[in-house]
Amino acid sequence: QSALTQPASVSGSPGQSITISCTGTSSDVGGYNYVSWYQQHPGKAPKLMIYEVSNRPSGVSNRFSGSKSGNTASLTISGLQAEDEADYYCSSYTSSSTLKVFGTGTKVTVL
């Protein structure tokens, strides 16, 4: 089971919106609405930002939103802020024996 494919880096200026893609297959992203997104600052544990494609946990800013089309899920960050600079990982349930697969990770830079 290969990792889900994410762009290595995405950047934007404060206040702008950016979108991170996460491409899988019909065995994972495309087959189920079981996609999550995690934010990780350097040296810290990951933080859940989105679950089940588009649900935000309590306490997560509504500037973060998730969606899915076919085999590709997306995380959009609107009103980009300096504190959003971090690594972001998507994750999906997979029907393969791996059961859960993460994306390759995307480094978000706020210019």
Nearer to other proteins (CB atom), residue 96 or residue 109? 96
Q: Which of 52, 70, 79, 111 binds other proteins (CB under 8 A)?
A: 52
Residue with tokens 């791996």: 98
Enumerate residues 6+ apart whose C-beta is below 8 A from 45.
none
Nearer to other proteins (CB atom), residue 21 or residue 40? 40
Nearer to other proteins (CB atom), residue 38 or residue 64? 38
CB 6 within 8 A of CB 91: no
Contact range with other proteins by CB under 8 A, out of 15-23, 69-77, 78-86, 96-104: 96-104
- Asked if 21 interacts with other proteins (CB under 8 A), we say no
Say what the alpha-carbon torsion angle 36, 17, 23, 35 is, to the nearest 10 degrees: 10
CB 27 within 8 A of CB 95: yes
- Asked if 47 interacts with other proteins (CB under 8 A), we say yes
